[in-house]
Structures are given as C-alpha cells and as structure tokens.
Chains A and B, each alone.
Chain A
Amino acid sequence: MPDLSINFAGIKSPNPFWLASAPPTNSGYQVMKAFDAGWGGAVWKTLGVPVVNVSSRYGGVNYRDKRLIGFNNIELISDRPLSDNLREIEEVKKRFPQHAVIASLMVQSRQEWHDIVRASQDAGADGLELNFGCPHGMCERGMGSAVGQEPNVLRTIVEWVMEVATVPVIVKLTPNISDITEPALAARQGGANAISLINTIQSIVGVDLDQFSPYPIVDGQGTNGGYCGPAVKPIALNMVKNCAQHPGVQLPISGIGGIENWRDAVEHILLGASSVQVCTAAMHFGFGIIREMTSGLEQYMREKGFQTIQDMVGRALPNVKHWEELNLHYKVTASINEQKCIGCQLCYTACEDGAHQAIRLNEGTRVPEIIDENCVGCNLCSLVCPVEECITMERRDDGSRHETWQQRTVAGNIPTEFEDERAGGRHHWVPEPAAALGKEKHKTLPGKARQFEPVPTSPPVVRE
C-alpha cells in the first residue's frame, strides 16, 4: 500500500492534495467539510485587511459543450474579519490535528506582516503562504502580483516575515511575469521555506457581444481578472518545471494550476511539485472529487512501484531538455491503421492545409494514405484523428545516431546563410503554389452547390 502522506517543508499532511487559497477555504465550515471528505490540507482564503467585493465575480470559458475549461475571477482576498477567520482556524486544527492548515496572508507594512504572522501562528496554522500573486484589485494597491513582479520588494517582505515566523513559509508566485525563476530566487534569498505556483493569469475570458463588455459584467462593465482552471495547466507545468530545474531555487514546490484529477496532480509532481493545490475543480465539482484523486494516485503508485510521493517528485525532470539538446536523428512518421479508420479525413485536411501535404486521398476509399517521403513526423494528423490509436507515429530511424543542435553548432554544421544547403527543408518536397487553385473544389463547396457543379473528370487546368 503506497504511502500518500507528505512532509512539505515541514508541513505534514495525510496526502498531497490541498485546497488552494480561494472561496473553497473561505470558512471553517468549508475546510472541515473538505477534511471530512478526504482532503489533506487547506490554504485558507487570504487574510489581511478585509475587503469589499463586487457582485458578479466569475467568468467562464466553455469549449463546445464543455463548461469551464477556463475560469476567471475578479474577487479579492477575504472579506471576513480577521478574528473570525483565526478562531475558525483554531477550531479546525483542534478537530483535525493531522491535517495541514496554512494561512494565506497579504498585508502591506512590516508591522502588519509581523502582526498577522504572529496571529496566524497563535491560531495554530501549520504554515504560512504569502500571497504575492493576485493579479487584480490588490496589485493596484501595491500588494499581490505587484509584489510578485518585483523580486526586490518580494525578498524584502519575505525577510520581514522570516523575522517572526516560527512555522514554514511558502511564497506563492504570480505567473504574470516573463521569468518565473526570478521571484522564485528572490523568495529563496529572502529565506522562504517553499514556493507555490501558479496564481491566476491576468485575463479577459470573453466579451459580451450585446453589451460590449468583458465578462464578468458588473453593471454593464468589467475588468481584467485572474485566469485558472484546466486551460492553465500547461502554463503552470512549465513554470513548475522552470523552478524545479533552476539550480539556485532548490525549494519544495507546491504545484497549482489546472489540477482536476489524479493525472494532473501526477504531472505536477513528476515535474517537481511535492504537494498540489486545487481550486477551480473544487469550485466546479465540490469536495467529492478528492476520492477519485486519491484513488487514482494510489493506483498509479502501486502500478509504478512508488512507495512514497517523494519517490515520484521530479521524475520527469531529467527528460525535460532544452531544444538544442534533442536528437536531430530521431525520425517518426505517421501510420494509419486502416481497420480503425472511420474515414473522416480530418488528418488529410489538417496535413494538407496545416502541415506538409504528406497525406493523399485515393479513389474508391475514404481511408487516407500517408506519403512517407513527405511526412516530417509533426504529429498533427495523429492529434486530430478522432479514433483512439488509429494514427500512430512509428519510429523510422534505427536509433544508432544521436546528434543535437548543440553538437552540430560545435561542429560548425548548422545552416548560417539564407540559401544554406544544410537547411532542414532544403530538399523537402512542396507542391507548386498554383497546384492549389481549384484543388478539390467540388469537395469543399457548400453541399447545395455540389449539385450544380459537376465533379470535374480531369484535374483543373493550371493557369500559367
């Protein structure tokens, strides 16, 4: 039986799944309910000087019939009095001594930081998370992402906190910055014990086409908000990786961003996270999703033979390379399983219009054919194919040669001139531009028009 418990920078938790600082951790009621449901920890909704929120606070991005593949909010930190929050933290800790309760904090002056850190510790918080990430509302007041974007300010505040902190301190980073490792380094220099990332990404999720206003709409108007949910996972994963790989950072990472199931969590962990935090998924589906997350993680660990979470942390990192370190001799091409193909021809049109004209159609069948010589192995067709495992990318090189861009650069064997013989596409076949004219017009005409356009019996004449 794998052990899901973690010790994150000194914060112990029965499993790596924490609720992120957000509406699901707004009150003791919710946090107790979450712990009862199986969550390992909770980062309390950010404490500070209570705020005033607007009504109409969230916006969503739907994809076709899928709701909330992206989510954004214009909410601020907790609007509840500090003492209420602290009393409830205490109550939760009493009831759940083994679970992790982390106080998320955001204030301005050194004195305020000292006061709130002490108060949180007195209430029994197992750790502190400094919110340097909120990209709207608070940053305009010189807090949140305004701090996260200024490594020097960030370091100073961390130093203030460390002056009085007796529990582990996590710095939560904003992704609204070009190089995430800069604030991560500053956190380290300031003495923080860990980092967590990402906070939300500045965004406008949509515009109301009738009211001419961005979502969410507050009395006919709106503002930029913070983006999160499944859509941000790829950005989060990359930033987690950047921090995990940076030799100067070397801090435990709590991965946040687009985690909705055990797979998402494992991905974060394999790229260096040792705890994970969840917000949108809990807001969308409720606390019950934890059951699937823990059971999936446990099953995966069993299958892979991982005893502890720590066994998995960063396991994918050695394989995340710089582009110039990749093997230029590795070669795959697409292969279509005719038995599985349903003849939608999406692969054909994708490669034909969006890639390398390496798929052809043949008379009498709807199953397309890969033109091996033209296939550059880009994967596009296999990505658009709606049938599982129908287009596979097959290895064509024999694996005996390994040469990277780096090595070629050192060897002086890279293209350096506009007409260089060594260019990758130098002898790659492309059709004549004019061959495109009228090509398959009868197939791409609107349905009705096809009736009145006889199918051409000979290929269209190319105009000179």
Chain B
Amino acid sequence: MAEYSPPTSEQEFQANFAQLKPRMNRTEAMLESSRCLFCFDAPCIQACPSGIDIPQFIRQINTGNVTGAARTIYEANYFGNACGKVCPTEVLCEGACVYNLQDVKPIEIGRLQSFATRAQMDSGEALFGPGAPTGRRVAVVGAGPAGISCACELRALGHEVDVFEAKAQPSGLTVYGVAPYKITNEETLAEMAYLQGQFGYSVYYHAPIASRADVEKLEASYDAVFLGIGLGSTSTLGLPGEDSAGCVGAVEFIEQLRQQHHAIAVGRRVVVLGGGNTAMDAASESARMGAEHVTLAYRRSKADMGAYDFEYDLAKGVGVEGLFNVAPVEITGNGKVEGVRFVRTATTGGQVQPVPGSEFVVPCDMVIKATGQSKQTTFLGLIDGLQLDAKGRIILDSRTGQTTNPRYFAAGDAGNGGAEVVNATAEAKVAARGIHEYLMSQDLSS
C-alpha cells in the first residue's frame, strides 16, 4: 500500500521527492505576475519577515526587468532563492495576499521570487559587492542562513569576515534539514556560491568553535563575533530502549537523507514521534523513501499539533497515518527496534495525563524522534557574560542583535529558539547593522 517504492537511483530519488514549488518558466511568470494588484501598503510585505518589497519585484518581473526584481529581493533577503522555495508561504506572504479574501488563489509569491533570483544566479552577474574597507574584522560562527546573511551584509558594509562552520557545506539546515521536495542541494549551494562570489568572505569548513581556547582565539583576532549556530541535535526522550538500533533523531535522519539520498534506507514500518513541522517532514520523507507504513504519533489531539495545516496535509497526502493522544513509554525490541509501546492520553486543563491501563504496542522497525532540537547551552557557556533565557535561547537586543556580552551578536534559531530560514536571514541582517553600529563606535586602536 506504499505510495512510493524505495528509490534505488538519484533519478528515482528526485522523482519521489519532486519539487513542490518547481521553477516557473517565463510564460508562467508573466501570467502570474500579471495578476498582482500592486496593493497599497501591501499586506504581503508586512507578512514577510524579511520585508521584501513584493509588489515591486512582481511588477519588475512583469515589465521584463528580472534583474531589477532579483535586486529588490536580494536587497532584503540574501536567501532570496531558497526562501522562495522553503518558506511556509501559506502562513506568510501568500497567506496575507488580499486575493485570499476574495476566495481567489493568492499570488504565487514564492515561486515568482525564485524565478527572478534563479535567473539572476544563473546569469552569474553580480548585483552587489563589498563596501569600502573599514579595517574591522568580524568572526561569524556557523554558515547557516543567519551566519551567511550576516557575512554578506557585513561585507557590504566594508568589514572583513571569516566564517567558521563545523560541517562541510554552507547554508546550515537549508542543506542539512529542509525537506528535499522543497529545495535541492544543487540550488541551495548554487545560491551560496553566488553570494560568496559577490561578497568575498572566507568560510572555513570542518572548523567547529568548540572549546574555550577556540573562543579566546576568536576574541583575540576579531573585533566582534556573530553567533549563527542554530540549535543542536535532537533532544533525548529518556525512554527505555531509546538507544536501540533503528531509533533515530529526526534532524540526524534528515541530514543523512539530504546528504546521501537513495543511499540510505528507512524501515518498512516507521513510527514518527512528534507533532511539529519536523515530525511532518520526517513522516513525509519516510513515506517518499518507500516505507510501507508510516505512523505519526502525537501526545495531544490533531488540532493541538504545532505543525502548519498544510504540512500535515502534505504528510497525509503521501499516506502517513496520524495517531493522536498517545505517549510513547518504551521502544520495544532487543537492541533493535521492534515497536513502540504507547499509552493513551487525556488532556485535562492543558495537562496531558496517561490513561492507566490503555497501553498498546505499534510494531515497527524504525522510530524517528521529532521531539525538538536541544540548545547549544554547553558551547554558549564558554562565552563570558553571555546570558540565555530559561529556554536556552541567547538573550539579545532585537534592534541590534547584540547579546549580553557586547562583542557578541546573534540571530537565527540560536536566538529565536527555532523558526524559519527567512527569520534567520532577516534577523541576521539586522544584527549585521548592529555590529556595524558597534564597530564604528569603537576606537580601532584599543
């Protein structure tokens, strides 16, 4: 009954993970851009966390000024192409488009955005360049959406930037976490290369900043440090049997999937634990990898799920089955996953309570825990005076991105606790301005 067969080649993988927002051709872009009303004080702009001047770029596409459109987008958002494909537009720009109120399909803003930026990337022509050198140096930790966006903006303002990235590729979760049907590795990395080519920051890969010594080295060599480190690995649940073979964290599973495609295998029967967007992704991905049966288990009701409706619909659409008001109590099996023992739950006064005697086992050979990412509190503890809030998020000034250690700035998941690519890129731009303000107010000789 599986909708998909396990992919055995890159071609089959790409077919199973066909792009949800495929690239528009010129005709489609013309037709779609023609529909935009050019609203006054457009609600779509307000709904875009990076504040792209949407009616402006759509009008530019429509008048054949695709380069101008790409400039409008990139001026506001360095992840212009990626965001067009991975943003939850249904709840952002497209969700705010006035056409919704007329029960007419909203403008496909995301696809138009990617149409323009992709054309620009492919042309290879630079839109921006580094600003006049200021003599200031900034270290950026993490080459995710936050780190790269901050690096671009800092370079535009004339500062020297070195980016330190623990992994092998730039763009953070855009290439390691986002579902493969939203964006391909090729186009993610093409945008990263396009940005680096224009702005000329250095990126050091396999270069985790992990120890107190690493931190001190940065502080000695740079005038300011930007933290774009995102979140950590999947939190553990503390269930018996959690370390069995076949029980994996969602973020880790997806990272493997994004990097190795059809070379990895999923179980025949997969249970995904969680009710957020990552759980929806992991469930959809398991189904598209050819799992025969995918169960999405959440401890509260369907309506309580944190995931966007359209993400749940996507998962349902590929055959995922929802199992609600259940909590896992044990991963069964002898060193190897054989099932998940659940207890039914009842929610009273907002509290989830197990219903005694209601336990049952869902047999499976793979468990994916999509129960949230941990915070990088240990690493952050290495930095003097850097305060975190109760949830482990870096405390920062939203106007400047400055942390409680004045030389440190931060943005993205590490500060907001885990949002979208567009939030990270927008916040990082603001933080870069904050860094600029800070650096230019410092006496260089000190």
Contacts and interface: CB of A to CB of B under 8 A. Distances in A.
A345 B41 contact: yes
A439 interface: no
A451 B34 contact: no
A345 B39 contact: yes
A440 B99 contact: no
A451 B98 contact: no
Contacts of B30: 64-65
Interface stretch (A46-54, A91-99, A299-307, A441-449): A441-449
A361 to B, nearest CB: 8
A366 B53 contact: no
Contacts of B51: 447-448, 450-451
Contacts of A342: 98-99, 101-102
Nearest to A452: B433
Given A65-B30, A387-B102, A446-B72, A346 B54 contact: no
A448 B39 contact: no
Interface in A435-464: 440, 443-444, 446-448, 450-452
A444 B41 CA distance: 6
A348 B40 contact: yes
Contacts of A343: 39, 43, 98, 101
Given A65-B30, A342-B98, A448-B76, A440 B39 contact: no
A294 B56 CA distance: 43
Contacts of A349: 40
Given A65-B31, A342-B99, A342-B102, A448 B53 contact: yes
A344 interface: yes
Contacts of B38: 346
Nearest to B430: A451
Interface in B50-83: 50-54, 56, 62, 72, 75-76
A448 B75 contact: yes
Contacts, number: 66
A346 B39 CA distance: 6
Contacts of A452: 433
A366 B34 CA distance: 23
B37 interface: yes
B55 to A, nearest CB: 9
Interface string B22-48: 000000001101100111110101001
A345 B39 CA distance: 6
A55 to B, nearest CB: 26
B37 A386 contact: yes
Contacts of B195: none
A443 B56 contact: no
Contacts of A66: 34
Contact of A450 (B33, B45, B56, B429): B45
A446 B34 CA distance: 20
Nearest to A345: B40
5 contacts: A64-B34, A341-B101, A345-B40, A447-B53, A447-B76
A24 B429 CA distance: 60
Contact of A443 (B41, B72, B75, B433): B41
A447 B52 contact: yes
Nearest to B64: A209
Contact of B62 (A64, A444, A447, A450): A64
B426 A366 contact: no
A348 B39 CA distance: 10
Contact of B45 (A345, A346, A447): A447
Nearest to A384: B37
Contacts of A64: 30, 33-34, 62
Interface string B403-441: 000000000000000000000001001100100000000
B59 to A, nearest CB: 10
Contacts of A345: 39-41
B426 A451 contact: yes
A52 B62 CA distance: 38
Interface in A137-192: none
A65 B35 CA distance: 9
B140 to A, nearest CB: 20
A342 B37 CA distance: 11
A434 B49 CA distance: 33
Interface string A324-368: 000000000000000001111110110000000000000000100
Contacts of B429: 451
B268 to A, nearest CB: 48
A450 B43 CA distance: 13
A344 B98 contact: yes
Contact of B43 (A366, A386, A451): A366
B24 to A, nearest CB: 13
Contacts of A346: 37-40
A418 B76 CA distance: 51
Nearest to A350: B40
B215 to A, nearest CB: 31
Interface in B278-294: none
Given A64-B34, A342-B102, A443-B40, 16 more contacts: A341-B101, A343-B43, A344-B40, A344-B98, A346-B37, A349-B40, A386-B102, A440-B41, A446-B75, A447-B56, A447-B72, A447-B76, A448-B50, A450-B51, A451-B429, A452-B433
B191 to A, nearest CB: 18
Interface string B229-244: 0000000000000000
Contacts of A386: 37, 102
Given A447-B48, A447-B51, A344 B37 contact: yes
Interface string A367-405: 000000000000000000011000000000000000000
Nearest to A340: B102
A387 B37 CA distance: 11
B198 to A, nearest CB: 17
Contacts of B62: 64
Contacts of A341: 101
A446 B52 CA distance: 8
Interface in A65-80: 65-66
Residue of A66, A346, A349, A447 with highest tally of chain B CB at under 10 A? A447
Contacts of A344: 37, 39-40, 98
B56 A446 contact: yes
A261 B48 CA distance: 42
A440 B40 CA distance: 11
A322 to B, nearest CB: 37
Nearest to B104: A342
